Structure 1
Amino acid sequence: MAKSSRKVPGLNASSMADVSFLLLTFFLLVSNMDVDSGLARRLPPPPQSEDQSSVDVQRRNLFVVLVNAQNETMAANQHGTEWYANEAELRGEVGGKVALKDRVKEFVLNTSNSPDLPELEEQDFGAPIGVVPVTAAHVVSIQNDATTSYKAYIAVQNEVVRAYNELREEGARKYFNTSYGELTEEQQKQIQDLYPQRISEAEPKNYGGGQ
């Protein structure tokens, strides 16, 4: 007697696409993705002409902060040079070194009117600040080696920005008797004009690790 061949019933796969889509949506919603956070700092406006990019900065107006391949930091201007081996030294916590932020503040203010620091010129910032001598041409130049670690570079960035933040906080309390965060937008603009963030970031280069 011949065996009858049975046909295997076909599977209904019409809903597989919907299930796959739901699974994909689920994993997208519950998965954590690493996102690089940027620096909380307002960038300077773009130059008005190509000529401005070629303006020479006098040596006394330039403060160079260089991070080398060994993640060591050199801070140098006409007033002197300091080397920082790690983040603790950057913050002035060990080694008896002056913190980087304090060196930046000294450079920006030039309260002693030193010829080695940026030249002071009087500017009117409006009431209640009035006419104040400021270093209008100062520039903090941050440079790094192509192999500098991201952590070391950000640590230097943080210290330089902290210097400007402290100057603005001190200015707010001196002229408005309150914290910078409590000022109106117009008052904050006055303080920003008084202490503008003049930070230049150069393209990474292969400087090497030697001092």
Structure 2
Amino acid sequence: MKSFRKHSATVNAGSMADIAFLLLIFFLVTTTISADKGILRQLPSDCPNIEDCKENINERNILRISLNSKQEIYIENKVVKLEEVETIVRAFVDNNGASDCDYCTGERLSISSDHPREAVISLSHDALTKYQLFISVQDEITKAYYDLRARYIESKFNKIPSQITDEEFKAVKKAYPFVVSEVMVKRD
């Protein structure tokens, strides 16, 4: 009788690396990578001499917005809703007519800056404030400035924002500068 030796079955793995490489390329080519999300802001330029850059700001020209860990919005120590932020910021910055625009009424509000060029929005938030709330408040502040600038463009240049030139845009930014101070309050 003849004895048969059992041979273990082998798989030719020579092309496995090629297949894995092709699959890797396939997934890299077909996968879409989402764009980064964030807030478009231009950081202030560096100040070589700190003393030259310190400026005393009149307390009347600062609108204090605070976000706490309970996800509440405070403006000047009063709780407000998110929907109210844009209106309050717009009224504070524009101060109902201190700027040189044609649509303004000239009547000053009790909480308003001396002039739109003097207005500073101070946004502080707790370390436990949710990111979504912070971004939503930022959006409301930005909408207020966009609305003020759009009105200024319409009254001063008789155009819509997409039609103005770079020189006109510089004038708009000078009339309504976007000045927001952001601070995070850390807990001990």
Which TM-score tier does this pair reach, normalised by the shorter chain? 0.7 to 0.9
Determine the C-alpha separation between the residues in 2 that align with 1:173 and 1:46: 31
Which residue does 1:66 correspond to in 2? 66
Counting only pairs closer than 5 Å after superposition, residues 25-44 of structure 1 correspond to structure 2 as: 25-31=25-31, 36-39=36-39, 41-44=40-43
Counting only pairs closer than 5 Å after superposition, residues 1-211 of structure 1 correspond to structure 2 as: 1-5=1-5, 7-8=7-8, 10-31=10-31, 36-39=36-39, 41-49=40-48, 50-51=50-51, 55-76=55-76, 81-84=77-80, 89-91=81-83, 99-110=84-95, 111=97, 112=107, 117-119=112-114, 134-206=115-187
Give the letter aligned to residue 150 of structure 2. E
Determine the C-alpha separation between the residues in 1 that align with 2:152 and 2:178: 14
Q: 1:198 to 1:52 in 2, by over 3 A?
A: farther
Q: 1:171 to 1:140 in 2, by over 3 A?
A: same
**1:29 Cα offset (Å):** 3.9
SS in 2 for 1:66: strand
**1:4 Cα offset (Å):** 4.0
- Gaps spanning 5+ residues in structure 2: where? 98-106
RMSD (Å), alpha carbons = 2.7
**1:75 Cα offset (Å):** 0.9
Deviations 1:43-84 (A, max 9, x none): 2432423336654433112111101111110011xxxx5312
Give the letter aligned to residue 143 of structure 1. S
Determine the C-alpha separation between the residues in 1 that align with 2:91 and 2:22: 59
Identity %: 29
The TM-score normalised by the length of structure 1 is 0.72
Determine the C-alpha separation between the residues in 2 that align with 1:29 and 1:199: 41
> Is residue 60–residue 115 contact of structure 1 (8 Å, CA) maintained in 2?
no
Which residue does 1:122 correspond to in 2? none
- Gaps spanning 5+ residues in structure 1: where? 92-98, 120-133
> Is residue 147–residue 206 contact of structure 1 (8 Å, CA) maintained in 2?
no
For these two proteins, the number of residue pairs brought into alignment is 177
Give the letter aligned to residue 23 of structure 1. L
The TM-score normalised by the length of structure 2 is 0.79
Determine the C-alpha separation between the residues in 1 that align with 2:149 and 2:3: 94
SS in 1 for 2:184: coil
